[in-house]
Chain A
């Protein structure tokens, strides 16, 4: 009786798909920022300063990128106790980033910068909001990692899920830095 042979794969399919997905998400934000540039060139463009908390949230997400990278390293070294601590810290920082963004929205709203106000303000809500949705996707992945790390019965020691989550997390981090620089310069 024949047995089926193994499938040749150069890179793990999930990692490959993630890279393509990140290209796709980048295109969506290119769409947003292109629309922003077009609108900015038109008359009656309203200029205002971004809430300071957006800069604080940047530090938070940068720190989370460092902790997740350390978590990946600890996972590869099978230092599971340290891995659990780092993945927990990353998840907390991820949630903290989301909270910071939410506070930023509240501050904007309270200072009269409303979603239905000038286009420059509307764009901030939409662009930062859609980025936040992508971050929440990452937070959900981190929480799954968190749950898996504390599961008593560990079926597998494959590093692929944490590596995929870490790559995505670095991506949303880099994307936020790009957006922040873009929105600060192209005011």
Chain B
């Protein structure tokens, strides 16, 4: 039988067996014949992972480009750039970004990067790729819902993207969409149809997240292979599980807030609006409260921080252990600390609202709960450092980005302690200190986790390696650049420089930061260029990268490396491997590593493994 014929017959078996596995009523039998069903409306979790990743990369380029544009304004507030007008038209009249465009760019930058890149792009990619592969499942619990999850995200993307092209521009009231700017169509130019499109897009996005989350939880709890007990799951899986739990419980609350907002915009209700005058004319709304929106928003908004960072934490834990050739330190403490983070994430939302007139007693309560998160976070940092301590380190690009993650998580986390204190937060609120804090801890850290994941699992996704030289340049430029961008912002914030100001140079007290802001903007452009280099490396390597020749290139213990180099739909051609041990048996009994599929020796059984 020729190779091609063998391949076809294997695919047929995969399809038939997989359909049988899920029962006749599931409607997701595989017909992998056509391009459309194989690459567009694919039901294979690995293809859906790639779809999320590539869409996420496109969004990341757009979101980052927006930050480069508004940093031009912040770095060079008095300069004009005639080429801007040729690109942005009336949004950059005379070569200078208009205030309306500036606020739209800031809003879209935040929305895109928080939701479309670091939530959908990060979690969508790696949860999809790794959950079935690492727990030993043929696919997700419901491949059809999984496919719908991506396409709901894609639709959300189309709607959000289309808002960039409407005459009045996209939403411009900030990524948090606080009313009244978001609730009143006449509040600003960005409150018009751009805001409606923003809300529709976000509703679709929430649907996508819920469909994905249901699948992740269901697959992890219900479809693990024989022997894969909860305590034998890799930390990546634990992190994806907790992320999905956070998502399915907090996104619906955000959706309820958005529904009320839509009624305020178009139904004449007054959930968030009260006692307002527009152009001297009194509106009929009364009894509403914008603070109510903030409660509903931040009930998602704070868990969202962990929805972004938890998957990165899981992947970094895995990559640090693999490339230190050491067992992860404190596995159960790692799981326990993630669980504690999940519980606390739901109880701290009001620390975003210390300046809204919150009762000081209530404020003290939220301070305490907020600071408590430092404990599980510190446990995780301690365990990462102890894992690499005296390890036989391999500085692969994935490992470097993982170490970079730990570094930025520490520096970003420490400033979180400042902001968690209501007394300090009242001074620092809405200053560049806040920008610096959250960009380092949930922007840069999460991106470092993502990059670590992409570099580490690229061979599994595409059967090729990324170029290492470009990867090292990418890492060092990004690490140094990130600190050069965000470290100085802490000082600006402490000195009181406010965020969201279009033309800070009009204030004498903030003019002193002109040189610093110019420096930051130049570094932003350099770091952006480094990201474009990564994008080039990514797409070039998919087709031209060095081919993977072994199924387990990193000498890892987890199940995804027991599949063929390019696994088909169904993942394993024969039996799904059985699991006997935890995923971190490195440097054990004289062996470099022992895969999870190797049965325990009689001695190990005696020791009670």
Contact = CB atoms under 8 A, between A and B. Distances in A.
Interface of A: 1-14, 16-17, 20-21, 23-25, 27-32, 34-35, 38-39, 42-44, 115-116, 118-119, 122, 126, 130, 155-156, 158, 160-161
B288 A119 contact: yes
A130 B10 CA distance: 47
Contact of B270 (A24, A119, A158): A119
Contact of B24 (A7, A17, A116, A156): A156
B260 A27 contact: no
Contacts of A7: 21-22, 137-138, 223, 576
7 contacts: A1-B10, A4-B138, A7-B576, A14-B141, A23-B248, A39-B292, A130-B259
A5 B576 contact: yes
Contacts of B249: 23-24, 27
A50 B76 CA distance: 60
A2 B574 contact: yes
A4 B18 contact: yes
Mostly, the B contact residues are helix
B224 to A, nearest CB: 7
Given A3-B574, A31-B252, A32-B256, A13 B22 contact: yes
A160 B17 CA distance: 20
B269 A28 contact: no
Contacts of B142: 13-14, 17
Contacts of B572: 4-5
Given A4-B13, A158-B25, A119 B271 contact: yes
A42 B570 CA distance: 56
Nearest to A6: B21
Nearest to A116: B268
A161 B25 CA distance: 8
A23 B251 CA distance: 12
A4 B17 CA distance: 6
B449 interface: no
B12 to A, nearest CB: 11
B267 A16 contact: no
Contacts of A155: 24
B13 A3 contact: yes
Q: Sort A-B residue pairs by CB-CB distance and give the 4 closest, nearest first.
A: A116-B268, A31-B256, A13-B141, A4-B17
B253 A31 contact: yes
Contacts of A130: 259
B299 A115 contact: no
A34 B222 CA distance: 32
Interface size class of B (residues with CB under 8 A): 35 or more
B210 interface: yes
B284 to A, nearest CB: 8
Interface stretch (B211-219, B422-430, B462-470): B211-219
B252 A28 contact: yes
Contacts of B393: none
Given A30-B253, A116-B268, 10 more contacts: A2-B10, A3-B17, A3-B574, A5-B575, A7-B137, A16-B222, A122-B269, A156-B25, A158-B23, A161-B25
A20 B210 CA distance: 10
Nearest to B219: A13
A9 B219 CA distance: 9
A102 to B, nearest CB: 17
A30 B256 CA distance: 9
A126 B287 contact: no
Contacts of A17: 141-142, 145, 214-215, 218
Contacts of B221: 10, 16
Nearest to B263: A126
B224 A8 contact: yes
Given A17-B145, A17-B214, A11 B222 contact: yes
A20 B220 CA distance: 12
B289 interface: yes
A56 to B, nearest CB: 26
B250 interface: yes
A20 B252 contact: no
B509 to A, nearest CB: 38
A160 to B, nearest CB: 6
Nearest to B570: A4
B500 interface: no
B416 interface: no
Given A3-B574, A7-B138, A115-B267, A14 B26 contact: yes
